[in-house]
Structures are given as structure tokens and as C-alpha cells.
Structure 1
Amino acid sequence: MRVLCLVTIVVFLATDVSAIWNAFDIEYWRCVMKKTDICPDKDIKFYLYTRATGTRRLRIDVRNHRSLEYSGYDPMKKNVLIIHGFNGTESKRPMTILRDAYLSRNDYNIFTVDWRPLAKFPCYLSALSNMKLVAQCSAQMYSFIMENGGDARETTCVGHSLGAHVCGMISNYLDVKQHKIVGLDPARPLINRYGDRYFRLTKDDAHQVQVIHTNSGILGEVNQVGHIDFCVNGGKMQPGCKGHILRRSRCSHFQGACYYAVTVRNKNAHLGQPCMGTCPKQGSDWNLLPGKPIPMGEDTPFGARGMYCVDTHSTTDCPFE
């Protein structure tokens, strides 16, 4: 069963000819599995983006107590920590789409976590193992922000796929619970079978945990994970994703980042209607419940609870790399 799961992951993610061709390269299979718990780590980098610097990233070094000051950090603004998932990086779409959405505002310090060497394709199993160190070092960064004037009540961790679970795991290394976490289609493969509550995103990891499901049951988690979950367009396959089923699944898995980015730019962009707590939904019947619609994403009311169904009316594919 373990081999089957791993093969399934590889098939889903190797959707282009170059990836298949690279499989014959020995270097391609040299995975990095960390066996240390020492932070900071050279393979885990933190960057700060501000409205003043635009897309020019500035690396933050927690060993330099003036690193944030020199990089243009403003303690009067809110903070967001963006964490990519497997086979990703902070400098690839759709993470850059999410980053740029925050840059369009003037009220955020935008921090990104880049753990690309520890999450590269095809090394899914080692990426799972490395999540613990990434979470530990990210918690160190989180604490560094707080020590330099950051407000925990104005700080959000936004993670995609495995990055969503890293956001949750950060709380294992903090004395105080995080205020808000947004999980963008938290990863399901192997985590659904072997991940305990310390190894996955749960509602215990922050005072508000919001989850957006876009490929539920395949690459993403099923049913309600956080305090409030949004099952988007049925939760399984997104209407803007075209092509064969493998590409549609991968595309749908990334789509949540773009849906969320829209809500960062535009207030109340996507509204959710209360519905039954299962996700994905079967067929066109979403089991809607009576109640007031609420906005998904950036403007979701704090304290909101339950499962909400969202129809984005979108037929546009979210670009990803």
C-alpha cells in the first residue's frame, strides 16, 4: 500500500515530459532528509517583501537582531507568513500570485518561507520528514517577528499543501497559540494515513483555522479540518482546470492559492453558503443549509464556524509552475 501511494503521487506530479526524462538521472533522485534539529538551517530561507521594495526580496537572518529593521519591516503593520508545499518554492506561481496580492495592499509585512531543497520532486517521503525542521525554524522566525514588535493578533500563517501542515506544526514550537492560520488545500497523501495531530493542520493549532478545499479526496484533505472550511466548486475538481485527469487534479490543488489571492485584493470576492460538513460534494447537490453567507478568505469573520460551500463562477485556470 505504501508503494502504491508513492507511485500515485509520482504519477500525479510528473505531468510533463521533462520530469519523466529526468527520472533516468541519478542526481534527480538524490533526496535530502534532515537529521538535525538545529535552526537556523541553510536550506530554509526567509524573505521579507514590503510595498516599498516590491518584488525585490530581502533575506531575513534571525541571528542579526537588526535584520528586520534594515529590511524595512514596519511593526505597525500586519504580518503574513506564506509557506509553499511539495515541489514548490516561494518564487514560483502560484505563491508569487499570493505574494503580489498582499503587495497590492499597504497594510502587510509579507514574509515567505523557502524550503525548496527539502521539498523537491520526486522526494515526497523526505519532504514529509523535513516538515518538522521547517516548522521549528519557521517558529523561530515567528518568534523573531514578535520580539521585534509584531502583534500575534495581526499575524497570519498561510500555507499551501504540505505548507498548510507546516503552518499547523509551527504551534508545536511556540509557547502561545497562533492567532490565525489559512490552509490552502492541505496535503492528503500519506498524511491522511500516518499523520497524527502533531504532524498535520488541525483546529487546535490557532484561535482561527480556515481551510479552503479545491482538490479534496485526491491531493487535498477531506471534510472539515479547521474551525471554518470552504468547499469550493464541489471541492474536488475546479472548473478552470482543463486537460487529462492528472493535470486537472494538480491544477485544482493549486487553485486555492488564486482563489484566496482574489479575496486579499477584493473584499467579499467569494461568498460561502452554509452546507453539510462533507467535502468533496457528490454531484450537483451541495446539501446547502439555511443561514447567512459569509466571505471566504481574507475577510472571513473571526469566530465563524462550520462548512461553507462556494461557487466561484470561475472558468479561468490558476497559473502554476
Structure 2
Amino acid sequence: MLKPPGLHFISLLVFIPIWIQGFAVVDLHKHYQNNETFQGEKIKCIDELGCFGTGGVFFHLLFRPVSVLPDDREVINVQFNLYTRDRPKDERVLKSSDKNSVLKSEFSINRPTKFIVHGYIDNKLFGLWMRDMKDEFLLSGDFNVIIVDWSGGNKLPYHQATANTRVVGAEIALLISRLEEWVALKPEDCHIIGHSLGSHIAGYVGERLTRLGRITAVDPAEPYFQNMPVEVRIDPSDALFVDVIHSDAKTIFLMGLGMSQEVGHVDFFPNDGTNQPGCKTDQVLSFIIDGLNEGKKALVQFNRTYNHFF
């Protein structure tokens, strides 16, 4: 499933009542300032990232009838954390606004570069899968591994997190462009692994970079993306090679959160893309049981502390 146990159900509760929303990006930065209106469409411009709007292909009467503007750049607060074999546990923070953050780091163009991008209600601290994946990459090869943390912009409500994904994609594309300028990085040597909303973020990166090497989309999110135009979702044109793993591809109304639509050069559907061995089948029940177990542990710990002091 590749989803933390509880988060799946929480996400489902959020997805169902707000099934549809969207926003668009337009290149009007020189002419319109933040939140001004162009032909009835609200526009928000964010420095060198460009302008983002609420219409265009990101509006659909059935699949995305509600559009909102993304949060401010400072709120989303995208962070790039570099790990290498020299520093597998101690991260270096890279900044597209600071050349020295790259030049003084262990980043090397002699290594392929991996970006790991999380999805909804996840971050680098609690997303153990990102650290596990980073460790496995560094064990298997000599890579620059960059964990992208955008947890400032991926919280409730889901429609706002969805709007923020396009800004995150723009931030990653900007960093890659700066690395290309500063240290001659080749976008072809970059591989983005995105989970859920992170899959579509990877697609937005590829829209801005014509030679992105590879995208691996892990359970690309279904709500707001399924059956939408290619500009909205991950698709084969976003990288030289796009592979997609569908492991939770049941419809959202059957408690699935991933896309069933084929959106890559190669789409894998292990176990028909639905029920995976080792994953809990009853998400509602498992959410309740997990919560009770955690509550019991907390109560036991509290009693131990209480008895110690009194």
C-alpha cells in the first residue's frame, strides 16, 4: 500500500466530501500581481516561480469544479535535504537561492541524482519510507539523494494541498535549473520518485524541464487527477521514462486512493493494483484498532510516570 496505517483512513475521510477542486498556472507575471483578476480568473504570482491561476485546464465541471490559489511560498516552505554516501545520515540543505549551499555541499555531478517526494499529510520526520528508500539507494549505488519536504503545504484541507503541489513542482524544477547553471548538472541524470500527490508534483517538474530523465510514480493520487488533461496529472511526456506503480487502484468509493488510469510509459498493477500482501484490508477497523492500541500504550506510560512521582 505504501501508506502509513491510519493516514489512509484519515485521507479517505477528507477526500470523499471534497472530491473536486483545482487551480492553474499562467504566464502573466509581468502584467498581473497577486490575487488580481484576469477575465474572471484569480491570479497569484510567486517570484521566479511564475503565476498561478484558478481556471484553464485545471477547472472541470465534474472532476474539478472548485479552484483555489496556492499558499504563499513561505507557507509551503519546500526544503531540499541532500544525502550522499559520505554523509548518509547527516543532511545538507540545498537552496535554489544560495549557490554556496550547493558548492559547499557533497553534491556531485558525477553521481546520478534521486529526488524523493512525499504526498499528502506526510513529512521527512514521520515518513520512514523516505529514509528507508534513501538508505537503500545509498547502499545500492553512489547517488545524490535529495528528500523533498513540503509539509508546510500538504495539510488539511486536501484541496489546498492539491493547489500547492504545482508550486512544489516549480520549486524542484527551479533547483534543477540552478544546478544545471551552477555545476552543469544534466536533467537527464535526475530521477524523481513521488508518492501520491508527490507523483503529480514530479509531473509538474517534468512540464518545466524538457529533458528530465525519469519519474517513478508510486500510487499517484486519484482525487482531482483521474481523467483530467495531461497538463494536470502525471503523463508520459513529463520525462524520458515514466514508470508507474499502482498498488491502491480501487476507486475511492471502495476505499482506494490511487489512480487506476494508465499514465506512464509502463504501468505496473501488482495483484491487480488493489490488495497487497501484508497490508491491512479493513482500513476503518484497522484505524480504530491501531488508535486503541496507541491509546493503551500512552495510558500505560502515563501510569508508570504517575506512580513514579506519587
Following superposition, the deviation at residue 247 of structure 1 comes to 7.2
| Alpha-carbon distance in structure 2 between the residues aligned to 1:87 and 1:38 | 26
Whether 1:211 aligns to 2:208 is no
Corresponding residue number in structure 2 for 1:139:
173
Out of 205, 210, 218, the residue aligned to residue 170 of structure 1 is 205
State the secondary structure of the residue aligned to 1:234: helix
Say if 1:79 and 1:150, in contact at 8 Å, map to a contact too.
no
Following superposition, the deviation at residue 244 of structure 1 comes to 2.0
Query: Which stretches in structure 1 are left out of the alignment for 5+ residues?
Result: 1-9, 20-33, 250-321
Deviations 1:45-73 (A, max 9, x none): 11111111112111111222222121111
Out of 280, 283, 302, the residue aligned to residue 242 of structure 1 is 280
* Structure with max Cα Rg: 2
Deviations 1:202-260 (A, max 9, x none): 011111100011001321111421001111122112111125234779xxxxxxxxxxx
Whether 1:227 aligns to 2:265 is yes
Say if 2:123 and 2:150, in contact at 8 Å, map to a contact too.
yes
| Alpha-carbon distance in structure 2 between the residues aligned to 1:223 and 1:93 | 28
State the secondary structure of the residue aligned to 1:116: coil
Corresponding residue number in structure 2 for 1:107:
142
Between the two proteins, the alignment pairs up a number of residues equal to: 222
Out of 8, 13, 29, the residue aligned to residue 10 of structure 2 is 13
Say if 1:118 and 1:130, in contact at 8 Å, map to a contact too.
yes
Corresponding residue number in structure 1 for 2:223:
189
Deviations 1:144-175 (A, max 9, x none): 2222132222211110000000000112323x
Corresponding residue number in structure 1 for 2:108:
74
| Alpha-carbon distance in structure 2 between the residues aligned to 1:248 and 1:237 | 15
CA 1:76–1:187: 2 relative to 1, 3 Å: same
Corresponding residue number in structure 2 for 1:303:
none
| Alpha-carbon distance in structure 1 between the residues aligned to 2:129 and 2:115 | 15
| Alpha-carbon distance in structure 2 between the residues aligned to 1:69 and 1:101 | 25
CA 1:39–1:149: 2 relative to 1, 3 Å: same
Corresponding residue number in structure 2 for 1:56:
90
Say if 1:83 and 1:160, in contact at 8 Å, map to a contact too.
yes
Say if 2:225 and 2:233, in contact at 8 Å, map to a contact too.
yes
| Alpha-carbon distance in structure 2 between the residues aligned to 1:216 and 1:94 | 20
| Alpha-carbon distance in structure 1 between the residues aligned to 2:11 and 2:261 | 27
What amino acid sits opposite 1:191 in the alignment? F
Query: Which stretches in structure 2 are left out of the alignment for 5+ residues?
Result: 1-6, 15-42, 50-72, 251-255, 288-310
State the secondary structure of the residue aligned to 1:159: strand
Q: TM-score, normalising length from structure 1?
A: 0.63
What amino acid sits opposite 1:209 in the alignment? V
Deviations 1:249-276 (A, max 9, x none): 9xxxxxxxxxxxxxxxxxxxxxxxxxxx
Corresponding residue number in structure 2 for 1:180:
214
State the secondary structure of the residue aligned to 2:240: strand
Corresponding residue number in structure 2 for 1:200:
233
| Alpha-carbon distance in structure 1 between the residues aligned to 2:83 and 2:135 | 9
| Alpha-carbon distance in structure 2 between the residues aligned to 1:248 and 1:164 | 26
Tell me the percent identity.
Answer: 28
Say if 1:237 and 1:248, in contact at 8 Å, map to a contact too.
no
Deviations 1:85-126 (A, max 9, x none): 001113322222211111213421011211101002x32110
Corresponding residue number in structure 1 for 2:189:
154
Following superposition, the deviation at residue 14 of structure 1 comes to 5.8
CA 1:87–1:39: 2 relative to 1, 3 Å: farther
RMSD, aligned α-carbons: 2.7
State the secondary structure of the residue aligned to 1:117: coil
Following superposition, the deviation at residue 38 of structure 1 comes to 2.8
What amino acid sits opposite 1:214 in the alignment? S
Task: Decide which structure has greater helix share.
Answer: 2
| Alpha-carbon distance in structure 2 between the residues aligned to 1:165 and 1:11 | 18
| Alpha-carbon distance in structure 2 between the residues aligned to 1:243 and 1:137 | 37
Following superposition, the deviation at residue 13 of structure 1 comes to 2.0
Q: TM-score, normalising length from structure 2?
A: 0.65
Whether 1:37 aligns to 2:46 is yes
